Structure 1
Amino acid sequence: MTAGARTIIYPVKDLASAKAVFGALLGVEPYVDEPYYVGFKDAGQDVGLDPNGHANGMTGPVPYWHVSDIRATSAALVTAGAETVEDVHDVGGGRLIASLRDADGNPVGLLQDPTG
């Protein structure tokens, strides 16, 4: 079960430029503004800018589906024919992400926030 695709992460080469563009688009200041990640929240949508995304195999924006059990969901997707691109890992504060590719090569991101 998912809570929807509430996060989209864009790989960017020029973090400052991308931050300016998305700041103008969303009309809000980032809630995270670090050299390794800039994140915006607007209207229930989380938009992230990842300056390391291209180096990690991202070729475009990746929608992240919020799930309650990332490992079980990832395993179910692999069983159904998806290919793992990035294994489950903690990106800070207990937030887990993983990325996969469906049979057509489309990116599928998974995100599990810490409980408690």
Structure 2
Amino acid sequence: MLRGFATVSFYAADMHAAREWYTELLGLEPYFAVPNADNPDYLEWRFGDFQCELGIVNARYARQAVGNGPAGAIIHWHVDDLEATLDRLLSLGATLLEPITERGGANSGFRTAFVTDPFDNIIGIMNNPHYLEILAELKG
């Protein structure tokens, strides 16, 4: 049984550029690097309400072609301010794939947008009322 998101992994050919870009986006350094921080083939950050894990893997380990256009599973990251987050991503060099779009009806509260990072990984951002309901329940 699937129990929840644990780690999402993206690929990048330039690991140093990926570390800089995601460190700027997340506002923190990766906590884990293999084989080491100076020459990483894998970097990992933990962040957010549930300490989600984002891993960046050196593209040479990819099973598919990397860097030939947007690719990857789309993970929708809940954000409180969709417009501001989209603006920040674009200011950091992300490319707009799909603008802010209403989902589930005009008043459902579910809105999404998609960008690609500079390494062609798709990033989905979302206002998700369900996420906030679950978080409120957990906080009691």
Q: Which has the higher strand share?
A: 1
Normalising by structure 1, report the TM-score: 0.48
Report 1 or 2 for greater relative contact order, CA contacts < 8 Å, sequence distance ≥ 6. 1
Normalising by structure 2, report the TM-score: 0.41
Q: Which has the higher helix share?
A: 2
